[in-house]
Structure 1
């Protein structure tokens, strides 16, 4: 038996060729909100808390998200000021226990992420 390779994107339509057609990835979250969140790409840096990631990692992700035209999320336990400073679009994560909740940080956010269920926990 021979080996078969499948390219799922080509099963429904031809692949987009950058020099022939433009692929727009701009995404608007909450288009009817007073201040909708507009992202250049439909991907954002998910919430990872300070402590799980170092200061350098959090600020590097914030800078990278800004360069990519997307957002980054605070993660559990609040934020570090430089993370917000380097993020052009920043989501504040609010968890059930309200661990690290700070209403002043919430006011700085472009959007709020509510974490309702956690699928896995370590330990």
Structure 2
């Protein structure tokens, strides 16, 4: 049985990377165990680790749910200089989704449930 999950991305400059991810996640790191490394608990038991190093090529995306995907796109294109990106949807899929990259090439993304009322009831 799996109890918790950690996902790691690497950035070439940990100071810039930490600032970038603080802005993306709306909070300071929850844990900085040593130099060159920072962790955020995204939801209970799910951690995002940002480590100084060579970013992995063609990995991801790591997608997080958001309440308003269009508002998040506007926020990160302005505050984080993320290139504008397409938000996708399909009639048979109950979410909208997108993919973008951080300044180091890590593929990230968001998804939004189309029926938030249904999502909250589950």
| TM-score, reference length from structure 2 | 0.25
More strand by share: 2
Tell me which structure has the larger Cα radius of gyration. 1
Structure having greater relative contact order (Cα 8 Å, sep ≥ 6):
2
| TM-score, reference length from structure 1 | 0.24
